[in-house]
Structure 1
Amino acid sequence: MSIDLPTGDTVPLFGLLVRQHRMRIGLTQRELADLSTVSVRAIRDLEQGRARRPRQDTVRLIADGLRLGARARADLESAAGEGRTSWAVKAGYEADPPAPPFAIDVQLGREPETAVIVDELATGAERLVTVVGIDGVGRTRLAIEVATRMHAADRTPVLWCPVTGPTSGDRLSTLVRAAADQLLGDSTHPADGTDAIAALVEIVADRPPLLVLDGVREVAHPGRLVQLLRDCPGLRILVTAAFPLGVPGERHFLLNPLAVADEGEPFDAHAPAVRIFMERARRYRPDVDPDARETALIAEICRRLDGIPQAIHAAASWLVVYDIATLHHCLHDGPSGLLHHLAGPDGGTSLRDALERRLSTLPTAERDLLDALCGQGETFDLAEVMALTGRSLPDSGRAVRALVLRGLVRPWYTGGQSRFRILHLVRAAQLCALDVRV
């Protein structure tokens, strides 16, 4: 297979795969040359398309140097023996539209959000939707559900690209990753000169897919996404990101944590957050059968964890060593104790690290405002922000909106008035960070 460039040149898929695998494991061309005993010049020529028909022993040596598994090695060997066959990928794409990843768990409590996004993308009312929200809230899981429903409804092709994670390694996934790197990165084309975006458009133009870019951190040149939508009418793009990308025409979809009862209010034992806790708890203690008092404590645990699914998962895993009352006590024993229990008993800290990383990278003005608000309490309104900062109402509204779209603050409507609540986990992390800075 080869990728067609606008100039009429071609870069064989073999060269693209070699470069993709080499960069995935962090090797330079010189390091691959040393491992494979193939010359640096030969590797460079293959990656740049100047050498098009590698010998069988060269393919074997490069595959050995890259430490490829059986499937990836077979793909590499197949690519080495092919000529100009990009039509084969296109034919396979159209005959068997790719599907999204399989979800291993049931999504709870997200039916309204799922239905809205599916409707907007399926009807074409929106073509670029970015799901934003705090880490652990379930952005990826929601994207899988949306993509699954669209694929099931009319076999919409789904091109799933985990921006910071591994792909499946097949030819189409490799091309999608190269196009995503080109869309989101600084350079116009990858180092090998391949225009992966143009190649992708050629393959999918007759049957536009849903392109899912999962875990986007930033977009260096927003105009490339806009141009892709123009070049491929009918294409829909679903993005999951920490905050909006700033792309013209982007639809921001804020994914809030699951609803939980406010302190002192009646709780629903069948609420999604409570059900998630119980489902996860029974993985560790199949015999758990809470009475009415323990169920109330579970509802309070979910409230303390802001209804964030991944935080609930982490806390429930502590039932390996705690009873429900002890877990409840630990989560209410100060900010550091709350943050500590974002890790399971095995010590994993991914959610806590992600939260602290997000707070540490806030623009100075937003971090200062959050510091000040955390010192005032859990809830506030715009009048309090104005009094606290001396800013005008529009400026205060913009500042709070930025915190809301980052998932750090949650809107709260009562008595016809807008109020806002700082998430417990955010407030705990910010207070701990303040102690460190002091």
Structure 2
Amino acid sequence: MTLSLPPQDSPATSDPLGSLIRGHRLRIGLTQRELADLSTISVRAIRDLEKGKAQRPRKDTVRLIADALRLGPRSRTALEEAARRGPRAGGDLRRLSVERAAPPLPLYPLVGREAETGVVVEELASGAERLITVVGLSGVGKTRLALEAAARLHQAGLPVLWHSGDEATADCLRADDDPLPRLADGCARFLRGDGEAGDLPPELADVVGAIGGPGTVLVLDDVDTSGLDFGRLSRLLREFPVLRLLITGERPWSVPGERLFLLSPLEAPAPAAGHTDAAAVRFFLSQLRRVRPDIVPDAQGLADVAWICHRLDGHPAALGAAASWLAVCDLSTLRNIVDSDPAPLLDHLAGGPHGSRLQERVGHTLSALPAPYRTLVGDLCRLGDGEFLLQDVVRLTGRTLPECGRLIRELLVSGVVRSSADNGRPGFRVLCVVRTSAGAAAAV
């Protein structure tokens, strides 16, 4: 979907009435001059209303603008109410500047993901996409990617509203006294179907009207897309032409206009001589410094790290859990444990939200797959921990090539497999955390 951006001279903040007029004007593709001609009101008056300079227009002025915009009864009533209400008491909404509409601050620096972040930022900033859903296995780094993209979008001048789902990680800082997060939460409740079907939450209209500008980004982090209402999304995008959505979750929404963005684990190719600069290795070393800053890996240590990262498929949460065990063992011992039985290492030694929840959530992802997919995962696990090809799936299932292609795509989207090119040809690998969970489920 392509977003029509507003004029470059749009103010950073505007009155709610001006926001409504401007939003309706852009929705039907009118310039300020064309609206002025249709309404018989001067261009200057239209401009002053949209910028919030004229805060108490006459009733006739509002009626003429509503007629020119061809508003229906509900939209006309909202416009008239905004004109009667005027500026809010105390100017609270006017203080909701672009600087206040900022995303939470991440606690840790981003490692890798430059290419992925760049794509998300470019597509949302340009308006090339208005709905991006980032999917991937639990612990793969969806929230951290969204935080980085949101920070860069905010630096580029776009207000960012952030909503965290009930299961979202807490690796970021939110301002408790900032009303914007609460407004973002209201947007999320609206999309989940709360309230009357025909009514937009008034606080949403207020905040989008208050911050205005060249675009507003609403981030819904770690949400269950199956519980969102596409009809309400469509209305949001129609009512607010500058609004864009960035969603993270384990499953795509699968609605028209959605840009599906699959986030795979960090690159962790099979170790080779001198090949210790992969993103997964850099991430592991950052975790190592937090646990054991006294350890400075030598050449052999770096080789052990590269092997651990490869065996754990570059999965960030698995790497973080494994690195936590360096508090009680050295690198060579850790590598031996990963080689023999990595399952115990998938529980973070310090416990907490990043510990056993990883295996629990991976198990939930597996159980949610349709039976044919679960069967295929089990068959692939029995082949070993190496890569498999499309032809292997054809042989295992006896299905046609197109059917097997769709099976693999579904497993990629769910995050239980990742692309692999260890042998110089395109292949796939079942993630270590998935093999562990599948093995535990089979043993029950």
- TM-score interval, normalised by the smaller of the two chains: 0.7 to 0.9
Matched, 1:141 2:148: no
Deviates more, 1:235-244 or 1:351-360: 351-360
User: Per-residue CA shift, 1:196-232, capped at 9, x if unaligned?
Assistant: 5454134314334110000012233223223211221
1:157 corresponds to which of 151, 156, 159? 159
User: What displacement does 1:124 show?
Assistant: 0.6
1:60 is matched with none
The amino acid across from 2:358 in the alignment is L
2:230 pairs with one of 212, 222, 228: 222
* 1:127 match: 130
Deviates further, 169-178 or 293-302: 169-178
8 A Cα contact 1:178 1:196, kept in partner: no
Opposite residue 323 of structure 2, the aligned amino acid is A
Query: Structure 1 residues 250 and 268, CA, compared in 2 at 3 Å: closer, same or farther?
Result: same
User: 1:261-298: CA deviations, max 9, x gaps?
Assistant: 226x3452232222222222122222102221121111
Q: Does 1:204 align with 2:208?
A: yes
Structure 2 residue corresponding to 1:181, chosen from 186, 189, 199: 189
Match of 1:276 among 273, 283, 295: 283
Q: What SS does the corresponding residue of 2:132 show, helix, strand or coil?
A: strand
Q: Is the 8 A contact 2:133 2:261 kept in 1?
A: yes
DSSP 3-state at the match of 2:340 = coil
Q: C-alpha separation between the residues in 1 aligned to 2:99 and 2:438?
A: 49
Shift of the 169–240 alpha-carbon distance from structure 1 to 2, 3 Å rule, reads farther
Report the equivalent of 1:321: 328
Q: Once the two structures are superposed, what CA deviation does each residue of 1:237-265 show, in whole Å capped at 9, x if it has no partner?
A: 111111211121111111111111226x3
TM-score, normalised by the number of residues in structure 1? 0.73
Q: What runs of 5+ residues in structure 2 fail to find an aligned partner?
A: 1-15, 17-85
Q: How far apart, in 2, do the equivalents of 1:430 and 1:228 lie?
A: 41
Give the Cα–Cα distance (whole angstroms) in 1 for the partners of residues 328 and 220 of structure 2.
38
Q: What SS does the corresponding residue of 2:418 show, helix, strand or coil?
A: strand
**Equivalent residue number for residue 100 of structure 1:** 103
In structure 2, the partner of 1:400 is 408
Partners of 1:273 and 1:309 within 8 A in 2: yes
Letter aligned with residue 109 of structure 1? G
Range with greater deviation from structure 2 (162-171 or 109-118) = 162-171
SS in 2 for 1:379: coil
C-alpha separation between the residues in 2 aligned to 1:412 and 1:358? 21
Equivalent-residue separation in structure 2 for 1:353 and 1:252 (angstroms): 25
For residues 245-256 of structure 1, the aligned pairs below 5 Å read 245-256=253-264
Which residue identity lines up with residue 163 of structure 2 in the other structure? C
TM-score w.r.t. length of structure 2? 0.72
Q: How far is 1:380 from its partner? A: 1.8
Distance in 2, matches of 1:231 and 1:101, equals 26
Quick one: structure 1 residues 131 and 428, their matched pair in 2 at CA, closer, same or farther if it must change by over 3 Å? same
CA offsets 1:142-179 (integer angstroms, 9 cap, x no match): 111111111112x2101011022697364332232122
| Partner Cα distance (2:268, 2:117) in 1 | 19
What is the identity, as a one-letter code, of the residue corresponding to 2:112? G
The counterpart of 1:381, out of the listed 378, 389, 396, is: 389
Q: What's the RMSD between the two structures over aligned residues?
A: 2.6
Residue 95 to residue 408, structure 1, CA distance change in 2 (3 Å): closer
1:9-64 C-alpha deviation (Å, 9 max, x unpaired): xxxxxxxxxxxxxxxxxxxxxxxxxxxxxxxxxxxxxxxxxxxxxxxxxxxxxxxx
Deviation of 1:411 after TM superposition, in Å, equals 2.0
Q: Displacement, 1:389?
A: 1.4
Tell me the distance in 1 between the aligned counterparts of 2:427 and 2:122. Answer: 30
Question: Do residues 312 (structure 1) and 319 (structure 2) align?
Answer: yes
Note the C-alpha offset of 1:402: 0.7
Which residue pairs with 1:411 in the alignment?
419
1:32 aligns with none
Aligned residue for 1:118, secondary structure, equals helix
Question: Could you tell me whether the CA contact under 8 Å between 1:381 and 1:418 is conserved in 2?
Answer: yes
Shift of 1:309: 1.7
Identity, in percent, stands at 42
- State the aligned residue count: 346
Q: Is the 8 A contact 1:131 1:252 kept in 2?
A: yes
For the pair 1:288 / 2:295, whether they are aligned, the reply is yes
Cα separation, 2, equivalents of 1:176 and 1:261: 39
Give the Cα separation in 2 of the matches to 1:315 and 1:414. 23
Q: Which runs of 5+ in 1 are unaligned?
A: 5-82
Contact 1:408 1:423 (8 Å CA) reproduced: yes
Judged with a 3 Å threshold, the aligned counterparts in structure 2 of structure 1 residues 365 and 169 are, in CA distance, closer, same or farther, namely farther
User: Residues 319, 98 of structure 1: CA spacing in aligned structure 2 closer, same or farther, 3 A cutoff?
Assistant: same
Aligned partner letter, 1:176: A
**Larger relative contact order, structure 1 or 2 (CA cutoff 8 Å, min sep 6):** 2
Query: By how many angstroms is 1:428 displaced?
Result: 2.1
Cα 1:86/1:407, change in 2 over 3 Å: farther
Q: C-alpha distance in 2, partners of 1:272/1:151?
A: 26
Match of 1:117 in 2: 120
Matched, 1:390 2:394: no
The one-letter amino acid of 2:314's match is G
